Every structure is written in C-alpha cells, then in structure tokens.
Amino acid sequence: MMHNLPPKPKRSTFKTVRNILIGVILAGIYIWTFMGIDIDFAKAVDRMTNNYARIIPKLLDPDWSALSDVWAAMVETIYIAFAGSLMAAILAIPLGFLAAQNMTNNRVLTTIGKWILSAIRAFPDIILAILFIVVVGPKPFAGVLAIAIGSTGMLGKLYSEVLESIDTNVVEAMEANGANKLQILVHGILPQITPEFLSYAIYRFEIDVRASTILGIVGAGGIGTLIVFAKMNRNWEEMGLILLMIIVVVTVIDLISTQIRKRLV
Amino acid sequence: MTEKEIKKTSTQSPSVIPLKAKFRVTVIFFIVLAFYLFSSFKTESSITEFIDGIGNMGELFQKFFPPNLSLFQAIWPALADTIQMAIIATTAAGILCIPLSLLAANNVTTNKILYNIVRFLLNILRTIPDLVLAVIFVALFGIGALPGIIALVIFSLGLLAKLISETIEAIDMNPLEAMQASGANTIQTIYYAVVPQVLPQFTSFVLYVFEINIRASVVLGLVGAGGIGQILDQQIKFYEYPNAMGIIIIIFALVVIIEYISTKVREAIV
Amino acid sequence: MIEFKNVSLTYPNGTKGLKNVNLTINEGEFVVIVGLSGAGKSTLIRSINKLVTATEGELLVDNENILTHKGKRLRSLRTKVGMIFQNYNLVKRSNVFKNVLAGRLGHTGTLRSLFNLFSKEDRSLAYESLKRVNIEEKIYNRADELSGGQQQRVSIARVLTQKPKYILADEPVASLDPPTSHQVMTYLRKINQEDNITTVVNLHFIDMAMEYADRIIGMRAGEVVFDGPASEVSEKTFEEIYGRTIREGDLRGGTEA
C-alpha cells in the first residue's frame, strides 16, 4: 500500500544548531551535577531509620507547655517583620523613583538605580542579617535592618515598575495647566501610584514574616532563636509547636493581607 | 452678592477629599505609625544605635576588608555543591509538581474535595521556611547535601505547583473539549491540549524557582545542609571576617550571574 | 442511525435542555438543526456524543443505547462521532499537523501518543485530510497563525482524520464572515456526499439551512417543533419555529464563493 506522506518540515539550520547546542549544554550541566554531587544514600537511609522515631512522631506531638514562650517569640518575629517592612516601604520610594525611566530622565541614573536594586536583591536576607549582627550586635535590631534592606531591593523594583506604567496623559495635562513639579507629583502621580505601592508593601510584609522566622538561626532575633535551641536540645516536641505556630500565623497573616490588598486595588 | 452670602457659599464648597475618608486615612496612618514605634521599641531598634553602628562600620570595614578573594579555588567545591543542590532540587520539584499542579487546578480536577485538599496542603507547604525544613532534615539524615536538597524540593514544590496550577487554570479549555469529543483519554487530552499551552510558562517558572533555589541553597549550609553556607558559617565562627566577606562577594557574583542568564532565557521563551 | 426515544435533559441547576425529543437520523443524511439561541440545538447535538448526558429516555447510536456508556465504550463511541466547534477548538500553540493528528488519538495507544509515534497510515491520512480542505500548504504553521476560516478547515481535517461515521457541527460558521461560511458549509456538504458521513449541523442562519440541508429540524425551548425535508421549508416555517418574524440577523447572506 502506498502512503502519501506529508513533506518533511523545513527547519532552518540555525534552529537545528541552536537546539542541538541547548541539548548538549543541558546534558553537560546534568552530567556535571550528578557526577559532582556526593550523597551517601546508604548512610543517609541508615541514619533516617535510626532517627525517625526520635524526631517525626515528636514533631507531630507539640509541647503545649512551651506555648507562651513560642508565642512571645512569634510576636517578636512579627515586630521585626513589621518594622523592617515599613522602613523598606519608605526607603524604596526614592530608589523606585530613581530607577523609573519616566521619572528620572537620565539613562545613567536609571541604570545606577536598577543596579543598586538588583544588587540588594542578590543578597539573601540571612547573609544581610549576618552582616548587621556584626554592626549592631546579635539582637532583633539586626533582624529589622536585614529585613529593611532586603525588602528595599524588591519593593524598589516593583515601585519603579508601577511608576513606569502610570498614565502620563494626566501629567501632560497638568504641565499644560502650568502646574509645577511638586504639584504634578502630588496631584498627578501620587493618586495613581498610592494603592499599588501600599498593596506591594503589604505583600512584602507577608514575605517578611516568613523571612523573619529564620533570622534567629544566625542570632538576629525572633522565633528562629527558639528553633536553634530546640535543635540543640533535641527538643522536637517544642520544634513541633514552633512549626505549627509558624504555619498558623503565616497563614492568618496571608489571609488578612490578601483581603486588604483586594480592597486596595 | 453680599459679604455674608459669599461666606455662606464658601463654607458650603465641598472639600476635595470627603471628610469621612480623610478621618479614616488619618486613623489608619496613626495606627500604623503607633505599631511601628511599638515594634521599634520591642526590637530595640533605635536610630542612635544605628548611627553608632554606622560608626562601627568603619571598624567593620577593617574587619571584613580587604575581602579575601583568593580563596575562590579553595571554596569552589563547596560552591559547586551549592549549584548542584539547586539543580537537583529544581529538577525534582519540576517533575513532582506536574501531578500536583494538575490536582490543584480546578478546571482539570473537577472533584471539589480533592482540589481543596491539595490546595490546602500546598499552602501549608509554602508557609514552612526552607531553613526550618533543613534543620529537621539535617537531624534526620545527618549533615550533608541530601537534607538540603530535600528541604529545597519541598519548599519549591509548594511554590511551583501554585504558580503552575494558576497557569493551568487560565488555559483555553476548548481544545480539551475537542480532544474528549474525538475519543482521546485523559492522559492523551492532557498531553495534547494542556501541555502545549502550559509549556512556555512552565519552563519560565522552573527557571524562576531555580533562581530562588540558588539563593536558598547558599544559606542552607548555615544549618549544616551542605554547600557554601557551611564554609561561611565556619569562617564567621572563627572570626575570619576577610574570608567571610570574600565568600559573600563570591556568592553575590554567583547569584547575579545565574539570575542574569535565567532572566535572559525566560525572556526568550515567553 | 441515530435515534432519540423520548429523550429529556435537565441540567443540574434545573434548566430543561431537552423536552421529550423523538427523532431518527438516517445514514448519510445532512441534517440542519435551526432555532434561536437557547432553544436546545447545542444540547441536542452534544447529547449525541455524550458531552452532555440526557437524563431521561433512550439515545441509540447504531442501535446501542449510549446513555449508559462510560470509559472505554464512551471513547469508542466518540471515535466514530466527529465534532466541529464554533471556536474551532484547536491547540493554538501547536502546529496544524499536530492538531490534525490529534484526531487519531482515540485510535492510538496512550504510550505511542505520548511519544508522537503515529503510524505511517495515520500520518498520510492526516495529510490527505488537509489536502481535501485545501490547506495542506499550512501543515507546519502554528494554528494561531491562521485565519478563522482556515482554522475551521483544519478542524474539519482533524475530524476527517478521525474517520468518523457521523459528524456533528455545533454552529460551525457563527464566528466566520459570509464567504468563508459558505466555503466551510460546502466542504461539509461535499464530505457528507463523498464519504456518506451522516452530518448534523446547528445553524441559526435560515438561508444557509435551506441551501445546504437535506432535512431541517426546528427547535424551540428544548422541543422539536418542526421536522421535514428542506424542500418543504419556507420563510413561514421559520417564523413558526422562531415564534417571531424573520429579521436580517437570521440570514447569513452572500452566495457560495
């Protein structure tokens, strides 16, 4: 039986070469990864079978007597996150304006602004915390500073994107009216950006609550401090309570913040 | 118009912002401010201390600088571990999230109970910080890369499944109907009608999660879960600040390079 | 042969989609169902391949009551009943050939289809189908690069590749302009005559119904209110079916290009 097969698809040599190249690079990366990584599965499985009974059931059986301590530490975590986010929300405003193309009519300045913001974002919060502990000592304030700086990177970027997407017709109309720069800012730009700025700041607060929970691991205050103690003392019942506390509080804050943000925009 | 009449009309002129809204905004502003001051007090944040701290910065500079970048060769193996952990974890999460995100998409999983259970579990998964997961897995499996990888997989799984299930919920359902009407089974329908629509975003999100995993795996070592963080932790504990700063700068460079590549690839895909 | 025996359909929200429908559609017929939107045309057509399930009565396709079909038997019913949709329902990001091959999925094993291993026969069948609707030169274009009329032709090719015994077309021309509409209807008619495929089409344009149909079924509020050969139909009949006078929007206009 004769089959009338369709013509073979025409592929440009560029695409073929590109696809082969992508394949080779990917294969190379994975070969490098699996050759390089050194995991002793037998040992790990062996340890897990030994440790399982000492850890997992206890995690699921929280130690309620520690509730007041854990709660106090969680509240401190929220303070850190709040103080840090608010500082960031304000610090990010000038940086956001600097990095926004249509606000700073200067390519060099905009690029510098964008570079600063992405440089900040490249630092994990914990590393910032380590640095600030050296500056102000191992206490919650170091955590606040780490959160503040860390969040500024992301908020500044989001702010600049909001600014770049505003309706410039309004600004033009006001310029035509003879309004000065400050008047344009207050009456033309602020009303457009305020809801979104606030919404992003609250969103970042959500993230910061999560981020603050681990700052204590390096000594920057909050519930992470208890995590370190619970781990050192192998007090897995308390760890279970800490975990539960984080899950509940983070979930509740997420829910509230989502509701507020829905109303804002 | 008499003077009296003018006065009357001027009091009647409406204020630009309604009084009620003004009042509400003021109240919210003061609540936020009060809570901020309270938080600052509770966390012992004070400007004076910060300025003192900035003074210490000079000292800090002396401590941290000049960063010792010559240790790049010495820490390369640990850095490679960090990257490899992120690659393995992202790959595993990318595979595991496929069934999960299908289950968490309400246009594919029409069973409401199942859908809600999966959503609930994913939400919980995302609330647990990766470092806390790492602490637990290090206790379970012992120090090394494995607990770090598992912590990353679990954490990124929650994030990835959420992002991808949202993409699936936004797809065009018409082709699915056509496939079903032509007698295709569920797996064929998903493969032919869902996969082509989701694939570009899927790849983009996987790369995004890879960026996050690189940043996360850098610090996992602080709790003994392998990679560069473990060396950083040691150097700080031994007060080897120039070495620590060198490591931090190298980490910074790594994150920036990987984010740059990943962003470029993602722009090319979508 | 498709037989409706006292078929009724009530949606979960209580809406009546079909009320006591009795119909027999014979082999090779080209039937056009007309009625206002919401009259139950779509419900009627979709109950034949069980995209919606009738709640009462019996619906026989080739003497099998399909209302109880599930899983494998349902899929095998669907492989012999092809369907064409108003919005073409192509995977927009996939190329034309892959979309057309998707018509073979019901005949292809799951594992084979996951690796795109369609047999030579299937691939040449898909190509032949594209040729029959004159769109073979677009074979490797992405579906979203085509115009609406071209996409609908691709979806006809997909149905042809399925080698169906029946074709259901749910408002196939509602999103198209008059010349393209006639083109699509002409293809459907030609396929019906050449391959002797029983075809059921939903339309709300009465001039098109009269031009292409062998037989016209009129529906109103879930009931069949008219059933007769197209030759017996006049504008008056439509006024009875629609329950109002004919307006310009009820006509597609234009002639076969």
Residue C255 lies in a domain: no
Task: Answer whether residue C257 is part of any domain.
Answer: no
Q: What is the CATH number of the domain that holds B119?
A: 1.10.3720.10
Residues of B within 8 A of C89 (CB-CB) are 174-175, 177-178
What is the pLDDT, as a whole number, of residue C257?
43
Same domain, B171 and B55: no
Number of domains chain B is built from? 2
Exposure of C77 in the CB half-sphere (CA atoms within 13 A): 25
- In this prediction, residue B230 has a pLDDT band, given cuts at 50, 70 and 90, of confident
pLDDT category of residue B1 using cuts at 50, 70 and 90: very low
Instruction: Clarify whether residues B37 and B131 are in a common domain.
Output: no
| Helix B241-269 and helix A107-122, axial crossing angle in degrees, nearest 10 | 110
B30 shares its domain with B136:
no
Residue A5 within a domain: no
Average pLDDT over residues A127-150: 86
Query: B98 and B222 in one domain?
Result: yes
Residues B144-164 pLDDT 10s: 888 899 999 998 999 999 999
- On whether the CB atoms of residues B157 and C83 are closer than 8 A, the answer is no
For residues B113 and B127, membership in a common domain is answered with: yes
Query: Which chain A positions have a beta carbon within 8 Å of B37's beta carbon?
Result: none
CATH number at residue C105: 3.40.50.300
B46 against A153, higher pLDDT? A153
Q: Which pLDDT value is given to residue B56?
A: 66
Residue A10 belongs to some domain of the structure = no
Q: What angle do CA A156, A258, A226 make, to 5 degrees?
A: 80
Q: Compare A186 and C185 and report the one with higher pLDDT.
A: C185
Q: What pLDDT score was predicted for residue B88?
A: 93
Residues B165 and B236 in one domain: yes
Q: Which one of C105, C107, C165 would you mutate to disrupt binding with B, by most B Cβ within 10 Å of its Cβ?
A: C105
B104 shares its domain with B31 = no
Range of the domain at A191: 67-264
C155 touching chain B per CB within 8 A: yes
Could you give the percent of chain A with pLDDT greater than 90?
A: 21
Per DSSP (E only), the strands in chain C are: 2-10, 16-25, 30-34, 56-61, 64-65, 81-84, 166-169, 198-202, 215-220, 223-229
Cβ(B219)–Cβ(A126) below 8 Å: yes
Q: What is the mean pLDDT of residues C184-203?
A: 91
Residue C112 in any domain: the answer is: yes
Domain containing residue A201: CATH number: 1.10.3720.10
Best of A3, A10, A11 to substitute, by most chain C Cβ atoms within 10 angstroms, is: A3
Residue A120 reports pLDDT greater than 70: yes
Domain that holds residue C65: 2-250
Task: Determine, yes or no, domain membership for A53.
Answer: no
DSSP character at residue A184:
I
Average pLDDT over residues C196-221: 88
Asked if residue B130 and residue B150 are part of one domain, the reply reads yes
Q: How many domains does chain C have?
A: 1
Domain for residue A98, yes or no?
yes
Tell me whether residues C127 and A5 touch, CB distance under 8 A: yes
pLDDT average, residue stretch B216-222: 86
A149 min Cα distance to partner chain B (Å): 13
In a domain, A48, yes or no: no
Neighbours of A85 (CB within 10 A): 29
- Mean pLDDT in residue range A98-125: 85
Is A179 within a domain?
yes
Cβ pairs bridging A and B (under 8 Å): 171
Same domain, B210 and B236: yes
A121 — pLDDT class (breaks 50, 70, 90)? confident
Q: Does position A47 have pLDDT exceeding 90, yes or no? A: no
Residues in chain B closer than 8 A to A79 (CB atoms): 38-39, 42-43
Q: In this structure, is residue A107 part of a structural domain?
A: yes
Same domain, B153 and B182: yes
* Chain A neighbors of C124, CB-CB under 8 A: 3-6
Residue C165 lies in a domain: yes
* Same domain? B58 vs B81: no
Calpha distance A200→A196 (Å, rounded): 6
Average pLDDT over residues B220-241: 83
Q: Which domain does B131 fall in, by range?
A: 69-269
Query: Which residues from chain C sit within 8 angstroms of residue A15, using beta carbons?
Result: none
- Please state whether beta strands C215-220 and C223-229 pair in parallel, antiparallel, or not at all (unpaired): antiparallel
pLDDT at A85: 92
Mutate to test the interface with C, among B110, B173, B182 (most CBs of C within 10 A): B182
The complex's ipTM works out to 0.82
**Confidence tier at B3 by pLDDT (50, 70, 90):** low
CB of A4 within 8 Å of a chain C CB? The answer is yes
Whether A27 shows a pLDDT value over 90: the answer reads: yes
- Which chain C residues in 10-49 lie under 8 Å from chain B, judged by CB atoms? 49
Number of domains present in the structure of chain A? 1
